[in-house]
Amino acid sequence: MAPGRARRVPLLLRRASSEPLLLLTAFGSVLLATTALVALITYAMVVTESGVRRAMAVAPLSTTSARVSTLISSGDLQKVDAAVRSHARDAYGDLPFTVTRSIRSDSYALPGQERRERPDLTRFATYEGIERRSRLVAGAWPREAGELEVALSQSSAQAMGLTVGDGFTVVGRLSHQPVRARVAGVFDLLDPYDDRWKGDELLRRGVETGNYTTYGPLVVAPGDFQRYFATDVSAAWLAEPDLRDLPRDRLRTLAASVSALGDDLRRDCATCATFTRLPDMLEQLDQAALVARSTMLVPVLQLLLLAAYALTLTARLLADHRRMEVALLRTRGAGGVRLGLLAAGEALLVALPAMVIAPLLAPWVLAALGAVPWIRSSGVRLAPVPDAASFLVSAAVALACAVLLVLPALRGARRTYVEERSARGRGERRGFIQRAGADVALLAAAALAIWQLGLYGAPVTSTAAGGLGIDPLIVTGPALTLLCGGLLGLRLIPMASAIAERLTARRRGLTPVLGSSQVSRRPLRYAGPALLLTMAIAIGVVSLATSATWRLSQEDQARHQAGADLRVSAPAEWPELGGLGRGAVYRALPGVTEAAPVQRETVDFAGTQATLLAMDADRLGGVMLWRDDLVSSPVPRLGRDLAAARPRVSPIPLPGEPHALSLRVRLGLTPPGAAHGEVRLRLAVVDALGTVQQTAAVSLEEGGQEVRFDLQALAGRSGRPAYPLAVQALLLDLPDPGDLTAVTPALDGLRTDTGAAVPLPDALTAWAGVGEQSVEPGGFTVRVSPPSAQAAAQPLRLAVMPSAPSGTRALPIVVTADLAAKAGLKVGVADSVTMSGATMLVMPVAIASALPGTAPGEPALLTDLRTLAYQDLTEGRAPRPIAEWWLSAGGGDTSAAVAALAHHPEWNQTVVDRETLVRRFRDDPLASGLQGALVLGFLSAVAFALLGFLVNAAVVARERTTEFALLRAIGVSHRQVFGLLAVEQSFVVVLSLAAGTGIAVVMAVLVVPHIVLTGQAAAVTPAVTLDIPWAPTVALLAAVAVALLAIVAALARRLSGHGPGSAVRIGED
């Protein structure tokens, strides 16, 4: 450039063009920092909004809806209906919502039964919108015509024996008025288990059994219901808001307005009862979104810290490179203000373009992040459009970067030329932060923050206003730990370099001596890139550990919640697939390797509501998914301990594969006719899998008779018993013993439907809730003591079964820690406790922190199913119903079994699939959002580390050109130059990789378990187990080391090109 023309170019641009490499590097650092932070903040906002919307979209109707119910005895139905709809409109505001009404009449006796004392009943009803949620099987929907038309569900029509066109008359139980109706149509609900029908068992099943048996309902047109049944009705309204477009900032406002719905409605309808779970869900969602956003601030702050230090390092290198120039400018009259303006102008020249470009690049970065499999599977669509918020964030970050670029230049502007020349010759061994002890102070602050994180379990705490807010100290704790760990690691550089210098001084080679001497003489020259690389490696390893721990936690949560690979629950008695027919059917499902019946019951255990699980202890290890650290004893040993109290007696085996049994019984009562009410006999049958099911009771009369028991009915129409079967006990019921003193049922023979005789054992024992028992040849006799005979209200149940060794044995149990503490139980110590009103002797064999298949924090206990069933029979209790089956699948693959179960909706079952739960947990945006932030932070950290190392290497190359030219002039080979650089930079790389990994391990142990939470921002059950994936970690360290080695090799190649000719021109430099 010509001198005159150069003078016309502003000094700012001339200075910038003189150092293009450093300014381009500074621009790259600012652009990287601005883009990454804009992308991270945008990601956090998008993910929390998507998570809230997804949670509301998939929330069940039972949670989002509001139900209003009342009894109406006069003609106020329309008034109450208008009040309900009006108050719902006030509660939901401008949100779209629908209100549907259902009304049921009082009971009517079925045709021909109006004179009976306990007739079968029916009800008339009308359901708003039922046509859209049902399928007509025959006929048409009722119309308002001259004759009352009704429609029935297919199940109720079959039970009542009605078809389309049939007419009938029913009589009101209260009004005694007859009502004539005609069947217009028969329908089936599209989904009988839809939450909108919850609680309406009559509509779902067609029959409802209680004190009376009720069939129906008889669905009529709304106008006909008003005309015939407007009084003495029960009405219910279901309000369904559309929450899909509800913004997050309205969650708590809507929660407050919906909470007030019940109180506001009672001002117009005093008898209206309102129930809704929506306010609790909205408040929980708001809290979950806040916690999710706060946990995503952790990588944001770490990246912010790393970006700030990378820019500070670049600015310091630029200032160091120009300090002689600045000193000369000062000697020529340039003041501090002038130099500061030059530095600020250069910084803005770098920052302003980055401020504009970053918001435009951030959507592309997020789009690439959205292609990551586990981000894509969550359903979050990362395709935001740059908005004002993005540009504001970009401006703030870019201006902050500009300030960081200016500060080192301002500091250097205070020195004169002579001071700079003397400072260049000194090599300080400790930085200002170390000399001031700030790294130790930071360690104390970080320790306090991590302690609070462990105390509160999340980066949010209660505010003074009573709500929740992000705690600045807690959320910055991981970043403070990262910084102080890196700063403390810098204290190792002088010590390590001094040790290396002493060790290499004894060797003959030139390269190690010069390399170690260079590091020892100027340790602060290497402190900058070492600290940057240390923090970047720590962020990378912590990100890997957090992601691996989160994925492991989702798997653990799914395993614990499911309890087994597959858990199937159904009503204990169901005609299509009965309790005794499920074992063989489930065990034959594709891929299933083991099936175990489980009895689940809520019991009052020592005054605490607890969940009781009873499972065949022999199948415990093959079915139950129990993490080893959750229980104090290994699972295989638990199975043996739980089965230790099993009676050493076998039930009565049944030969072949019988479908029915016949038994000849002669019943004798002493005195004759003393019992009040029917004497009934049932059999307790057990299958090969341990399922105990009792047959339907048959009535016995005094004298001889032959009774028959249908075993296939216990299996259901689609079921197959798991043979071989056996008779566990014969159960004899006397509802009211009256003046009875002895019962003598003589057994004359037990046969299967194939004609095979079933020999009875010689030793039988009769157990009863009251009385004394004795067994005699050819039958058994139970003698009832006089006090029990006088207890007329107390029923008598006799259980006759093969004799077992006498003596009471404690029931072995596994109990959760909280329940054991409340009941005062200890492992290995038998104790008597009350369970559901009965006193039982129990023996804890292990204490568990949580029991698989139960809700988090729920007190629970586990016992052996066969032992519990035997004890129930001996104490006069009926066998407990089996409503659950836990299945194990080969390799954990349950897809084929789930598909097979989906083809049988008539089995009326609920399936809990471990694989489905894992996908549901991992696809929750609020829970998985941290993963995307970690990926973005991790990649940005690696980029900063490589960029910072590259800048430092480039500056070193320019500063030491003369030094290496002199070495080449005195005969140092290219190989030796490369070795010298390798020694110097390897010192930095090795120390940084080791320190970064060590800091990451400490941070992972202290931080990661507290930021892995559920999608509802609750603590995880089972507790988080830290997982540091060492194979990917080693691969990361190796990849970074190779990249840095390539930079060193390129630097050595460049410097080796400066031969002896460069030394001749030393004076020119």
Q: What are the φ/ψ torsions at residue 1029 (nearest 5 degrees)?
A: -75, 100
Q: Are residues 304 and 368 in the same domain?
A: yes
Q: Are residues 197 and 321 in the same domain?
A: no
Q: Decide which of 787, 802, 817 is a domain's last residue.
A: 802
Does some domain include residue 696?
yes
**What 8-state DSSP symbol labels residue 228?**
H
Q: Identify the pLDDT of residue 1.
A: 47
Q: Decide which of 802, 822, 847 is a domain's last residue.
A: 802
Q: How many CB atoms lie within 10 A of CB 1068?
A: 6
Q: Which is it for the CA torsion 158, 164, 170, 172, positive or negative?
A: positive
Does some domain include residue 115?
yes
Q: Are residues 718 and 757 in the same domain?
A: yes
* d(C-alpha 111, C-alpha 531), whole Å: 90
Q: Are residues 656 and 670 in the same domain?
A: yes
Q: Are residues 881 and 1001 in the same domain?
A: no
Does some domain include residue 304?
yes
* d(C-alpha 794, C-alpha 740), whole Å: 12
551 membership: H or E segment, kind and range: helix 523-562
- Nearest CA-CA partner of 846 in 822, 815, 821: 815
Half-sphere exposure of 681 (CA within 13 A, CB side): 24
* d(C-alpha 921, C-alpha 848), whole Å: 24
Give the DSSP letter string of 968-1020. Answer: HHTT--HHHHHHHHHHHHHHHHHHHHHHHHHHHHHHHHHHHHHH---TTS---
* d(C-alpha 185, C-alpha 163), whole Å: 8
CA angle at residue 538 from 533 to 542, to 5 degrees?
A: 150
Strand, coil or helix: 849: coil
| C-alpha separations of 698 from 238, 679, 706, 735, 881 in Å | 44, 8, 10, 14, 19
Q: Which residues pair with 705 in a beta bridge?
A: 665
| C-alpha separations of 502 from 213, 520, 834, 991, 1029 in Å | 97, 10, 76, 18, 37
CB 886 within 8 A of CB 564: yes
Does some domain include residue 275?
no
Q: Is residue 373 reached through a cis peptide bond, with omega within 30 degrees of 0 on the bond before it?
A: no
Q: Where does 824-969 show beta strands of DSSP type E?
A: 831-835, 838-848, 860-864, 884-889, 910-913
* d(C-alpha 70, C-alpha 745), whole Å: 53
Q: Is residue 671 reached through a cis peptide bond, with omega within 30 degrees of 0 on the bond before it?
A: yes
CB 483 within 8 A of CB 442: yes
Q: Where does 114-227 show beta strands of DSSP type E?
A: 121-127, 134-139, 148-153, 167-172, 178-189, 207-209, 213-219
- Nearest CA-CA partner of 863 in 892, 822, 821, 835: 835
Q: Are residues 196 and 299 in the same domain?
A: no
Q: Are residues 90 and 155 in the same domain?
A: yes
CA 497 to chain CA centroid, nearest Å: 49
Identify the segments of the chain with pLDDT beneath 50: 1-6, 9, 417-418, 420, 425-427, 429, 431-433, 435-436, 464, 770, 784-793, 1062-1069
Burial bucket for residue 804 (CB in 10 Å: 0-12, 13-18, 19+): middle
* d(C-alpha 974, C-alpha 1056), whole Å: 6
CB 297 within 8 A of CB 475: yes
Q: Are residues 867 and 997 in the same domain?
A: no
CB 307 within 8 A of CB 400: no
Does some domain include residue 898?
no
**What 8-state DSSP symbol labels residue 725?**
P
Q: How far apart are the first and last CA of the chain?
A: 20
Does some domain include residue 572?
no
Q: Which is it for the CA torsion 908, 914, 916, 920, positive or negative?
A: positive
CB 430 within 8 A of CB 494: yes
Q: Are residues 779 and 681 in the same domain?
A: yes
* d(C-alpha 764, C-alpha 768), whole Å: 13
Spell out the alpha helix ranges (H) of 124-221: 154-160, 201-205
Does some domain include residue 257?
no
Q: Identify the pLDDT of residue 155.
A: 83
Q: Which residues pair with 605 in a beta bridge?
A: 608, 835
Q: Are residues 41 and 110 in the same domain?
A: no
Q: Identify the pLDDT of residue 436.
A: 45
CB 413 within 8 A of CB 339: yes
Half-sphere exposure of 359 (CA within 13 A, CB side): 17
**Number of domains composing the chain:** 4
CB 246 within 8 A of CB 56: yes
Residue type, 935: V
> Domain range holding 853?
592-648+809-892
pTM value surpassing 0.85: no
Give the DSSP letter string of 10-35. Answer: -HHHHHHHHSHHHHHHHHHHHHHHHH
CA 952 to chain CA centroid, nearest Å: 46
Residue range 870-894, pLDDT digits in tens: 888 877 777 888 888 999 998 888 9
* d(C-alpha 906, C-alpha 320), whole Å: 80
Strand, coil or helix: 564: coil
Q: Identify the pLDDT of residue 1006.
A: 86
Does some domain include residue 59?
no
Q: How many CB atoms lie within 10 A of CB 333?
A: 7
CB 899 within 8 A of CB 578: no
Q: Decide which of 774, 802, 830 is a domain's last residue.
A: 802
* d(C-alpha 840, C-alpha 604), whole Å: 12
* d(C-alpha 234, C-alpha 231), whole Å: 9
Q: Are residues 770 and 636 in the same domain?
A: no
State the angle between helix axes of 925-959 and 523-562 in degrees (0 to 180), rounded to the nearest 10: 160
Q: Are residues 475 and 503 in the same domain?
A: yes
Q: Identify the pLDDT of residue 525.
A: 63
Strand, coil or helix: 780: strand
